[in-house]
Amino acid sequence: MRRGLTLSVIIYFIYGLFFYWYLFMSNDIAIPEAYKGTAADPETFMNARELMLTEEYSNIKNFLYFVLIPFEWFIFFVFLIVGGSKWLQKASTTATSVSFIQTGLYFFWLSLLVNVISFPVEWLSYQISLSYNISTQATGDWINDQIIDFFVNFLLMWIMMAVLYTLIRKFKKRWWLYAWLLSVPFSLFLMFIQPVILDPLYNEFYPLQDKELEKKILSYAEQANIPADHVYEVDMSEKTNALNAYVTGIGDNSRIVLWDTTLEQLTEDEILFIMAHEIGHYVMHHIYIGIAGYLVLSFVGLYLIYRLMNLIVDRWGSYFKVTEVSDLSSLPLFLLLLGMLSFISSPAENYVSRFQEKSADMYAIEMTDNPEAAVMSFQELSRAGLSEVHPPALVKFFKYSHPTLLERINYIGETEEE
């Protein structure tokens, strides 16, 4: 156990040291010489202070992202090898004979442990966002969101883990397949209820107050056959200075949403371009392509987890204090493997997403016939969120679900020239 702990700490330290060196010491994020002085050059639309803050904030944010990704895996790994998972399973099964309640008790305390250990880093991230004027959220409101997050995630995961371990106990060789089949309707259900039940837990939504703008956006939506009678405005200025807009939900629960920060900081033409972009996703059925991609990845992922869990428990079960895959004590191992496989698959998911985002940009250009507004909106997105125009390669590879702002401004500029 001591060797395992020592080795894991060393590996984690080297991993963090690498990304510190990569982000703060070795990377030159200056844009290529060919783009100097163009609309994609941040020096043409940011002042010296904004350029400095963007570089500082982006490096810190990216470093925290890469360091926090394996932090939760590290917690699960340590919890397993010190016997915490075995002890928590015993406590849960002693408290009640009802397996559904056992899973709930086990997962509640495991979630609470992870959240308590992670809280200082989450707090640091929040304070950094405040210091760079990205977040505007009051401390009490931020804590309230964390509590809502905890209980929403706990309740959803409790249901999923209870069903999962029931399947593992009943179908030792096919549980992964049945879990995958059940995940499909459950995911669609969550997508259906998200706009009307989950999102309002965090923010207040109300019909867009600018009726002339709403009329123009709804005319775009009508062309795209989006079943929407209203455009919704959400009060995000109490939480952030960043900008966003989106189309969410499926079927009759589809909603077109604008952040109030977007309304305050962008011109009408820029807002119309952004909304046309979001409508483009709907028109090109990107949400359904995303669902199909999720089905493929989750099918492969659950099968790999099934194989890996059997292998690990058979060979190193005594090391991790796990006797059977069907034991609740194996849950941290399941979550550890799920997190690792999700991270490994993220570059492929991001690549497909970047292609879709470019397609939506092109759709919006065609619909609005206003490439200048598109370029201006991207520049304002960069300035408001202190976002890098030309991020380091590994950051783009693992984090960016959108093309970089350099790429977006550049290909829209090329469209304008044509």
Q: What is the pLDDT of residues 120-150, one digit of tens each?
A: 989 999 999 999 999 999 999 999 999 999 9
Mean pLDDT of 102-114: 95
What is the predicted pLDDT for the residue at 169?
94
CB 238 within 8 A of CB 232: no
Q: Is the pLDDT of residue 25 over 90?
A: no
What is the predicted pLDDT for the residue at 28?
66
Share of the chain above pLDDT 90, in %: 63
Extract the tokens encoding 25.
């010491």
What is the predicted pLDDT for the residue at 269?
93
Q: Give the residue from 359, 311, 306 showing the smallest Cα distance to 334.
A: 306
Handedness of CA 153, 156, 161, 164 (dihedral sign): negative
Q: Is residue 212 domain-resident?
A: no
Q: Is residue 318 domain-resident?
A: yes
What is the predicted pLDDT for the residue at 87?
95
Q: Per the structure, how many domains does the chain have?
A: 1
Give the three-class secondary structure for 240: strand
Q: Is the pLDDT of residue 418 over 70?
A: no
Q: Is residue 233 domain-resident?
A: no
Q: Is residue 351 domain-resident?
A: yes
Q: Is residue 348 domain-resident?
A: yes
Give the three-class secondary structure for 207: strand
pLDDT digits (tens, 9 = 90+) for 255-275: 788 999 999 999 999 999 999
Q: pLDDT band at residue 343, thresholds of 50, 70 and 90?
A: very high
pLDDT digits (tens, 9 = 90+) for 201-234: 888 888 888 899 989 988 888 887 777 777 889 9
CB 382 within 8 A of CB 54: yes
What is the predicted pLDDT for the residue at 351?
94
Q: Give the residue from 301, 298, 297, 323 showing the smallest Cα distance to 312.
A: 323
Alpha carbon distances (Å) from 355 to 82, 310, 332, 402, 408 = 44, 37, 35, 8, 11
Extract the tokens encoding 175.
């549980």
- Angle subtended at Cα 354 by Cα 350 and Cα 359, rounded to the nearest 5 degrees: 150
Mean pLDDT of 72-81: 92
Q: Is residue 350 domain-resident?
A: yes
CA torsion 76-81-84-85 (nearest 10°) is 60
The residues carrying an active-site annotation are 278
pLDDT digits (tens, 9 = 90+) for 370-416: 999 999 999 998 998 899 999 999 999 999 999 999 999 988 877 65
Q: Is residue 378 domain-resident?
A: yes
Query: Angle at which helices 175-193 and 139-170 pack, to 10 degrees?
Result: 150
CB 71 within 8 A of CB 343: no
Cα gap 399→62, rounded to integer Å: 9
Instruction: Answer left, alpha or beta for residue 207, where phi above 0 means left and psi between -120 and 50 means alpha.
Output: beta
What is the predicted pLDDT for the residue at 252?
67
Mean pLDDT of 327-353: 95
Mean pLDDT score of the chain, rounded to an integer?
Answer: 90
How are beta strands 255-259 and 231-234 bridged, if at all?
Answer: parallel
Cα gap 120→42, rounded to integer Å: 33
Mean pLDDT of 55-83: 92
Q: Is the pLDDT of residue 286 over 90?
A: no
Task: Determine which helix (DSSP H) or strand (DSSP E) holds 3, and give its type and residue range.
Answer: helix 2-20
Q: Which residues contact 188 (CB under 8 A, 6 or more apart)?
A: 250, 291
Extract the tokens encoding 381.
């997105």
Q: Is residue 346 domain-resident?
A: yes
CB 363 within 8 A of CB 283: yes
- Domain hosting residue 187, numbered range: 2-20+48-201+285-417
